[in-house]
Structure 1
Amino acid sequence: MTTPPPLRITIIGAGIAGLTCALALRRNGHTVTLLEKSTFHQETGAAMYVGPNCSGHLMRLGWDPPSTGANLCEGVLSIVGPTGEVRNKMGLEGVSRQWQNPWLLVHRVDLHAELKRLVTEEKGEGRAVDLRLGVRIVEVDAEAGKVVLENGEVFESDAIVGADGNNSIARKSVDSSAVLRPWGKSCYRFLVDREVLKRDEETRALVEEDGYFLDVLANDRKFVAYPCRSNTEVNMAVFLPDDQTEGRGDDWDQQGNKAKMMSGFASFYPSARKLLSYADEDLKVWQLVDMDQLKSWNAGRLALIGDAAHPFLPFLGQGAAQAIEDAISVATVLQFGTPASDVPELMKLYDSIRRERVDYVQEQTRLNGLDEDKGRPPPI
C-alpha cells in the first residue's frame, strides 16, 4: 500500500501559536507554508508564562529554555495594595516536584525569535517551513483549502490553520458573526532593570528573590511583576478599569500615559507606588477583550487555534499555553501519512478533543479577572 504524500499545509499567522504549529507539522514531515502580515522588523511584547502544561511541548520541539533567557518561576508573593499586608508568600520548590515540566518565565520576543529560527533553519527534522512576511490575505476558502493574497497569489492546501489572533481573518470562514467586546479593564506593560529595583530600599523586598511572581492587588485594580531574561529584567503588567486609562481596542502597542497610570494607584502603599514609578514614559497600554465561545473551531479543511479560536484574558497566564496545546493537538491529528481526503474529519476531531479543556480554563481565567466584590477567588 502506497503511503500518501506529505500534506500541503498553510498556516495563517506566525505568532507563538502559528510558529509552534508549523514546527510540529514540519517535524511530522509535512510541507508547511506560514503567512504573516507583519515584517517582524520591530517585534514587541511582554514577558509571558510558559507553564508546566506547555513547556514540555516546546522543549520536545527543540526549545532550550536557558538559551532564550527563560528562568524558573520559583515562588509567589501576594500583597494587599492599599496596606502592604502580605497575604501569602509561597515557594514553589515543593509543589513543582508534582509537575512533569517546569514553570518558566520568558520574554515573548526571545521565545518568538527562537521558534522562528527552529521553523526556518535548514537543519532539523523535516523540510524548512516557507515563511512569508508582510503578506495581506484577502480570502480564505475553507472548503477548497485555498488562501488568496492581496497580490493575487493563491495557496492551494490540504489543510489550513488559522493562528492569526484576536482579529482573525480565518475566523470569518468559521463564524462571521463573532465580535470582540471590552472586558472592562486595560493593561499597561513595561520592563524595569531588576538591579535598579534591588538598589532601591523601597522596592528591594518586592524583587529580591529570583523567580518570584509578585501580585499586588485591591478590589478593582492590581499589578503583577515577575523576572525574565535570566532574572535580569522585571516584567510589569498593570491593570486598571477602562475609564481610568486611554486604552482603546486590543492593539498591544498603544501609547500609555504614565501619570494617568500612577494616579490609578494613589491609594496603594508607598513601596508599590515606587515600583510603578520606574515605568518609562513610553509604556504601552492595551484594552482587554473577550469573545463569546464559537460553536465550532473548524470548517472544511480549516481549523482555528489560539486567540483566533478563543481569545484569552491574561488573568491566569494561560493564553499562550492553550494556544501551544492547540498547535500540538493539530499536529497530533495530522500525522505523516494522513490522506488529504481525511483532513476535514480530522479537523473536527481536533475541535472535539480540545473544546472542553479550553472552555474550562477560559472560565477559570474569567473568574480570576473579576473584581474582588464580584466574586474573584482569593489569591494563591
Structure 2
Amino acid sequence: MTTDGTGVSVAIIGGGIGGLTAALSLLRRGIDAHVYERAAELSEVGAGVQISPNASRVLHGLGLADELARTGVKPVALHQRRWDDGRTLARTPLAGPLEAAFGFPHYLMHRADLLAALAARLPADRVRLDHRLTALTDHGDRVEARFANGARVEAGVLVGADGIHSATRGLLFGPERPRFTGCAAYRGLVPADRLKGLGLETTTQLWMGPGGHFVHYFVAGGRLVNFVAIKEQDTWTRESWTDRRDVAEALAAFEGWHPQVRAIMEAVDETYLWALFDRAPLRRWSAGRVTLLGDACHAMLPFMAQGAAMAVEDAATLASCLAAAGPGPEVEAALRRYEAARVPRTTRVHALSAAGKTRYHLPDGPEQRARDAELAGGAGGLSLDALAWIYGHDATA
C-alpha cells in the first residue's frame, strides 16, 4: 500500500462491498483504515451484481483488474424483451463499444466473488469480525465506537457502511424504518450446463411484462446463470426479508411468460423470495466526524443496477476528500465536501431506479405500446448515450 502521511485514521463499520472498497481506497492513499464487521465471517447475501464502468474504473485502480476478468463476465449487450413472445424491444451494445466509450469494462459477477477479491487485497489485520456497533461518541477531535463484544475503538473518522439496516445511521440521525416498495424478487442461481439447450447469449436479458420483470445473466466466469424475477405485491408481512420458497410458487407467479423465462426458473434447485425495500435518500450524510456510505444513506431499487456501483463510487470519493485533509479541523470540511459531491448524484440515480418500477411493469395497452415504440426508436433511458453521465463518471477525481 502507498502512503502519503495524512495522519487521519478511519474506522469503517460494515464489511460489505462498500466498506471493503473504502478501506482499500483509503489505504491506497496512506490513510490508516480498519473495518469492523458485525458477522463472524465476511459474506454477501444475494447472488448477481453488475459492475458498470464507473465502478470498474475504481476497482481496477485498486488492483482488481485480473481478478474481475477471471470471475466476471463481460456482457455483449443489454437485451430488452417482451414478456410473452420474447420479441426484442431494444438491444444496447456493451462489451467492446461500452469499453471504448468509457475506458473500462462492464462486469456481471457473483457478489461473493467480488467480496472475496476485495478482501484478498486487504491485510488480514485490517478487518475485525464479530464487532456489532452499539454506541458512538464524537469527542470533537476523534470518534469513539463501542461494540457488543465489549471492544472500544477510537478513530479520527467513523464511516457507516453498514447497509440499509445501518446502526450508524440510527445512532447519528435517529431510527427510521426502511419502506417496502411494493415489489418482491425471486432469486436463484442455475448451473449453466443445465441451460445449454437454450443457447443463451452472453447478454443481460431484461424481460418486461405486466406487474413484473425478469432479468438473467451469466456470473462466476460463465459457470452459473443468475436470475432475478420481480413481481409486484401489496404488502410484506414476513419477519424476514429473505425466505426460501418453492420453485413451483415462482413459476406460478410467472404463468404465461416466455418458455425461456420459465425454463431458467425450472432448472434452479432452490429459490429465495426477497422483499425489496428502500429509504428516502438522505440530504445529509455527515455529523461532525461521522459519515455514511452506500445503502446506509441511499438504499435504492435495483432497476438501474447501480446500488453496488454507487457504494464503490462513494468509497473512492471519500478517500479523495480525506486524502486532501489533515488530521485536524480539516477532516469535518472534507466530509462536507464528500457529502456535497455525492448527494446530488446518488439522489438522481435513486429516482431513476424508482421510476423503473413503473416503466418495466406496464400492463399491456397504450402506455406499454408507447414505451415499446420509444425503445425501438433507440430511446428509453438505457442507451449508452443516455447512460453516459453514469458510466463516464470518475469518482476518484
TM-score by length of 2: 0.84
Alignment check: 8 A CA contact 2:9 2:157 kept = yes
Within 5 Å, give how 1:4-43 maps onto structure 2: 6-40=7-41, 43=44
Give the deviation of 1:229 after TM superposition.
1.6
Check if 1:118 corresponds to 2:121.
Answer: yes
- What is the alpha-carbon distance in structure 2 between the residues aligned to residue 301 and residue 250 of structure 1? 33
Check if 1:173 corresponds to 2:174.
Answer: no
Greater percentage in helix: 2
- What is the alpha-carbon distance in structure 1 between the residues aligned to residue 186 and residue 177 of structure 2? 23
Aligned to 2:93: 91
Aligned to 1:233: 224
Check if 1:78 corresponds to 2:80.
Answer: yes
User: What secondary structure sits across from 2:122 in the alignment?
Assistant: helix
Equivalent residue letter for 1:76: L
Give the deviation of 1:243 after TM superposition.
5.0
CA 1:90–1:328: 2 relative to 1, 3 Å: closer
Aligned to 1:274: 263
Equivalent residue letter for 2:261: A
For structure 2, list consecutive stretches of 5 or more residues without a partner in the other structure. 376-381, 383-397
Deviations 1:149-175, CA, capped at 9 Å, x for gaps: 123221111000100000000002332
User: What secondary structure sits across from 1:327 in the alignment?
Assistant: helix
Alignment check: 8 A CA contact 2:5 2:30 kept = no
- What is the alpha-carbon distance in structure 2 between the residues aligned to residue 360 and residue 66 of structure 1? 28
TM-score by length of 1: 0.88
User: Percent same amino acid at aligned positions?
Assistant: 28
Q: 1:284 aligns with which of 272, 275, 297?
A: 272
Aligned to 1:300: 288
Equivalent residue letter for 1:279: V
Q: Which moved more, 1:220-229 or 1:42-51?
A: 42-51
For structure 1, list consecutive stretches of 5 or more residues without a partner in the other structure. 122-128
Give the deviation of 1:249 after TM superposition.
5.9
- What is the alpha-carbon distance in structure 2 between the residues aligned to residue 197 and residue 321 of structure 1? 29
Give the deviation of 1:288 after TM superposition.
0.4
Q: Which moved more, 1:83-92 or 1:327-336?
A: 83-92
Q: 1:104 aligns with which of 104, 107, 130?
A: 107
Equivalent residue letter for 1:330: L
Aligned pair count reads 361
Aligned to 1:130: 126
Q: Which moved more, 1:229-238 or 1:60-69?
A: 60-69
Deviations 1:15-42, CA, capped at 9 Å, x for gaps: 0000000001111112222100112276
Within 5 Å, give how 1:127-276 maps onto structure 2: 130-142=126-138, 144=140, 145-198=143-196, 200=197, 203-204=198-199, 207=200, 209-210=201-202, 212-242=203-233, 248=238, 251=241, 253-276=242-265
CA 1:56–1:375: 2 relative to 1, 3 Å: farther
Q: 2:310 aligns with which of 309, 314, 322?
A: 322
Aligned to 1:125: none
Deviations 1:264-303, CA, capped at 9 Å, x for gaps: 11121323222221122x3222100121122310111011
